[in-house]
Structures are given as C-alpha cells and as structure tokens.
Chain A
C-alpha cells in the first residue's frame, strides 16, 4: 500500500510536468496552428536562466522560478515574432511553421549547450526545496508537492482564462479563423503575442521545476518533456486544457506503474502505443472537442 501510494504520487508529479508543458504546446497548436518542435527548448532555457539566477545573483528559489517562467515566455515571443510572424498570411500551412520551429530547435539547443558549457547542472542542495513532507504513512519530497500544486493552479487558471475571459474568447476566435476574428474586432496581433507568451511561460515553469526536481539542467531537458508533452496533448485533445491535464497525469502514472509492475523496457512502448491508439480511435482526444480549423 505504501509502495502503491508513493508510486502514485511519483506518477502524478511526473505527469504534472508533462501536463504543465503540454498546456502551452497544445495552446500554440490550437490557436496559432504551429506544431512547435522548439517548445522544449523554452523549458531548457528557463531552467538555465533560473539556475544562473540562483548561482550568480543569489536570488531565492521562488524568484528563480519567476525568472525562468518569464524568460521562457519572452523567448517564445522572440521566436514567434522572428520566425513565425513572417509566415503568417502566406498560407504556408503547418509545414513552413514546422520547419521554422526545427530551425529554432537547432539554434536554441546549440546555444543552450554553449551556455551551460555542455555540462548538466543542478540546483545545489539547500538552494531549492529539497526536504521531505510527512504525510503520515509516506514522506513526499517537497518538489513533488510544489509541482503538483503548480500544475493545478496553472491548469485551472489557464482553463478559466481560455473558457471564461474575453482574452480567452479572442484566442479561441483567432484559432477559429484569424481573418474573421479581426473583422469581429479582435486584435489578432495582441492575441498572438499573449498566446506565445503564455505557452513559453508554462513551458518555462515546467522546465525550472523539472530541472530542480530531477537535478538535470541542460539543453537536453526539453527533449524528454517535448515527447511526453506531445503525447499528453494528443491524448487529451489539443485545444482542451482539461484534457491535457488529465492525459498528462495519466501518462505519468502509467509510466511509473508500468515500470514498477511490468518492466521499464515496455514503459515507453506503452506510452506511445496509447498515443497511436488515441490518434486512430479517438483523434479528438479525451473530451472530443478539438478540430483543426487552420488546416
């Protein structure tokens, strides 16, 4: 029972990172029509920024999280304005944006390699919450609790933002049809900027928290998140924050349980077969509301 509980929390915490990362990935996919392979690089860069903020500026960990998150958002805006903006209005479809994002993936990853001296870094013990919290029968690392809480807060916040606010309505409108949205009085440019920032920031948040929890801050941090976040988005339905959250957590739990009770050999296989199964059998995701409008 204790093992089950501990592994469940491990899974939920891991899945929370996937979900946190996936929210932005799905948002950009739904609103801006971009399959952004550089989304993982935002997470790597956010973790690197957070790490150097702690090392060089001696800021406390919460401040490092803020710096990483905002940094991730700003990088996403730069990438969007430099790379994706020129493609808009050309009707290049998904292909042009995909290739541009690959270009940014190459550039950002290789610059991140240089920035870290090709090493993998970690927040030093004591520079981040590395203690345990006692929950009666089990003890849980503080970082896991923080990650789960962050995912819940950001997840609910983003869901409300997209579904209930005017900004969210505008985002959905742009995702629906950019031209029609501008006719209806929505400033598409602003909506695009906000979307890019939110996506980069959530990816960045996942990056800093994940980097701290796994003691691995390097340019490779984003790649793992990208593959699993991608799976979470597809399974959850790409323009549905709720779906991404549930799918992300489910994937995390599945992964941990498959390794614990089956074999780690099949872990990734199970995840990706699940992913493929959803694509073929339920391509609209868990809640079945998505559709590609910009195709």
Chain B
C-alpha cells in the first residue's frame, strides 16, 4: 500500500519534471515539520554581521510557519551550529548536518573561504546549501549550491556614474583594501567608470583588512587634494578610514559601499558617517515595498532594532528554500529540493522589490543610492 503510493508519487514527479513544469495546484509537499540548518557566525571576528543574518533567518522561519508559505501544514525549524567563522568548524558543521537525515537544506557563510569549503563538502554529500553572505564569483553549483547574494559590480557602477555626473570632479582618490579580492575588484570597477569620463586619479592608497590605524593612509590620500575619496574596504577598516579622514579635517566628498548601511554603524559613528552616499538594495526608511515594510515591522517587534542589509539576506535565503519546498510534491528529498531551488528564476517573497535568480545566483536587485543624515535617518541621496 505504502509503496504503491510512493510509486505513484514518484511517477507523478517524473511526469511533471519530464514535462518541464510542476503544477502548483496539484503539487504539494507532505504536511509536517522539516528541519533546516544554519552554519552561523554568532561569535568570532564578523559576528556583528553574522548575528544579523541569523536573526533575519529566524524571522523568516517564524513567518513561513505562521502563514504556511512553504506549503499547507509545512513548518520549518532551524538547527544552529556556530562556526565562529572558523573554516574547520564550518566544514565539521556541514558533515554533521549532512549526516543528520532530518536536515533538508542548510544556509550559511559570510566568508568566501568558508563558503568554498562548505560547498565542496555539501556537493559531495548531496546537501542543498543556500549562501547568504559570501560574494565570491562561481560559488553556485548545479543543483546543490545557490546564492542569494548578488555579485558585486553593477551597484558600484551605478554609484560611480551618479557621482561623476553630479559632481564632475577633476581629481579623486581611492582607498582600497588590498588583501580582499572582492573589495579591490569593487574599487577597480568604480575607478574604471571615473577614469572613463576623464576623472584624474590623484592617489591609490592600499590598506589591510586587519589594520586599525589609518592616519597614514588618510594623510597619503588627502595630501593629493582630491575632491572626492572612494573608500572600499571591509566594515571595520572602512569605517576606520572614514573616521581618520574626518579626524584630520577632510571636508571633501567621501563615497563608500554598503558597509555603513547597518543602523548599528550609525549608532557607533554618528555624524562621522553622515552625508556619505552608498549603494544598497535594502534599507529601512527607503525600501518601500509592502514585503519590505512588513519585514521591517516584524523585525523591529522581535529584536527591538531596525534590520540591516545582512538580516535581509538571511531572511531571503530561508524564503528561497520555502519557495522551492512549496513546489515539491509528497515527501521532499534533498535532491528534489535542491533542483527546485536551482530552477527558481525569481524569489517571490523578497524585500528588494523584485529579486531575479539566474543559474543559482541572485542578480543585482534594484539599487538605492542613499546616505545617513546627521539625525540618523537614511534618505535617498541628493547632492
């Protein structure tokens, strides 16, 4: 009896896939509680962002369970293993999740090296992984590894074009983090745009991610008298650079990336980060879709603070899994879920006002160019 039902289900899935579509009206996953896993960064050097990702994911789970977004009667629980951003511990957590038959899929990884290690193991053991933080190119692998983080590039280009058009500066300086391939690639993109319209590069200054003292680099950039300074580095270093520039009285325009977008950054640095334009795809106060508003309200109610761009990504990762889950029929398997996730071309439930997926990789959603005001609000940036 049992086996014949299974057989029929398998047949149905087979037909559905061979026809190239799964009819949502007929297909439905079996009701029940399913486990997902998160390899979190709750402690360790990047825990400030890591905790946000985790909170966003928790919120998504709660919402999905309340509203049945992953299918009728389908609920998720999230099993947590903290990696402390350590590569070895990330891999160990992956093996433990892979061995636990109850775990259907996992989300993880802020750091690209850890994401690379986890992905390799997950592919070998057939465990679906949705990456929510690491931005290295080429991480997605059909069908098991997908990423909800847009690759860097388009946002920087937009931002740079806007700066070039509105300020028409003659000389700009770039402060880049040389020991991060991603940050330096992003800075180079900006530099290309600026140089293409004839803006002179007055200085290219390199800092290291673990540095703390930026008085030297700040002086080095300022002495060339640039009208504008682009800062591209990780959060701690980037804010350190901006603070150093302001401390030594630089009053030209500073431009940076979404590293200063989290509300916690304004809480820390206050007016120092005000009036610095940056490009993001989600920001409380500016993102105005109904989904975004609902997310912001729920987040505030649960955690007593505003969500940041990282929380939004953790939230999106879980919703991607839910969407994949909903399209399945019967008892979901890891492989079927992975394929369903891989085939998603648009994340329905997102806070970006639209989120396309292509070959398991999120495309850059709508870009907002914004800045902090002195009062701690985020507004669309205007010259």
Q: Hey, which bits of chain A sit against chain B, CB under 8 A?
A: 2-3, 6-7, 10-11, 13-14, 17, 110, 113, 117-122, 124-125, 130, 132, 139, 141, 143-144, 210, 213-216, 218, 220-221, 223-224, 255-256, 259-260, 263-265, 267-268
Contact = CB atoms under 8 A, between A and B. Distances in A.
B215 A144 contact: yes
20 contacts: A6-B219, A6-B223, A7-B219, A14-B213, A113-B43, A113-B47, A117-B48, A119-B48, A119-B264, A120-B235, A132-B249, A141-B247, A141-B248, A144-B215, A210-B212, A213-B215, A214-B213, A214-B240, A263-B206, A268-B208
Size band of the B side of the interface? 35 or more
Interface stretch (B65-73, B89-97, B154-162, B268-276): B268-276
B236 interface: yes
Nearest to A267: B208
Contacts of A3: 219-220, 223
Contacts of B244: 214-215
B243 A215 contact: yes
Contacts of A125: 270-272
A241 B271 CA distance: 40
A10 B48 contact: no
A126 B220 CA distance: 25
B270 to A, nearest CB: 5
B52 to A, nearest CB: 10
Given A2-B223, A264-B205, 18 more contacts: A3-B219, A7-B216, A10-B213, A10-B216, A11-B216, A113-B44, A119-B48, A124-B269, A139-B249, A214-B240, A214-B244, A224-B210, A256-B215, A256-B216, A263-B206, A264-B206, A264-B217, A268-B208
B51 interface: yes
A255 B216 contact: yes
B236 A120 contact: yes
A72 B51 CA distance: 29
Contacts of B28: none
Interface of B: 42-45, 47-48, 50-51, 178, 205-208, 210-217, 219-220, 223, 235-236, 239-240, 243-244, 247-249, 264, 268-272
Contacts of A130: 247
B212 A221 contact: yes
Most buried by B among A2, A124, A215: A215
B278 to A, nearest CB: 18
Given A121-B268, A215-B243, A265 B213 contact: no
Contacts of A213: 213, 215
Contacts of B223: 2-3, 6
Given A125-B271, A214-B214, A224-B210, A118 B248 contact: no
Contacts of A255: 216
Contacts of A263: 206
B308 to A, nearest CB: 12
B5 to A, nearest CB: 49
B11 to A, nearest CB: 51
A216 B233 CA distance: 15
Q: Which 7 A-B pairs have the closest CB atoms?
A: A118-B47, A215-B243, A256-B216, A10-B215, A264-B206, A214-B212, A3-B223
A24 B36 CA distance: 49
A130 B264 CA distance: 21
A111 to B, nearest CB: 11
A218 B47 CA distance: 11
Given A118-B47, A125-B271, A265-B178, A14 B216 contact: yes
B216 to A, nearest CB: 4
A10 B206 contact: no
Contact of B217 (A17, A143, A210, A259): A259
Contacts of A256: 215-216
Given A120-B236, A264-B207, A265-B178, A215 B213 contact: no
B236 A216 contact: yes
B58 to A, nearest CB: 17
Given A3-B223, A122-B269, A141-B247, A215 B215 contact: no
A130 B244 CA distance: 10
A260 B219 CA distance: 9
Nearest to A257: B216
Contacts of B268: 119-122, 215
Contacts of A2: 223
Nearest to A218: B236
A110 B243 CA distance: 26
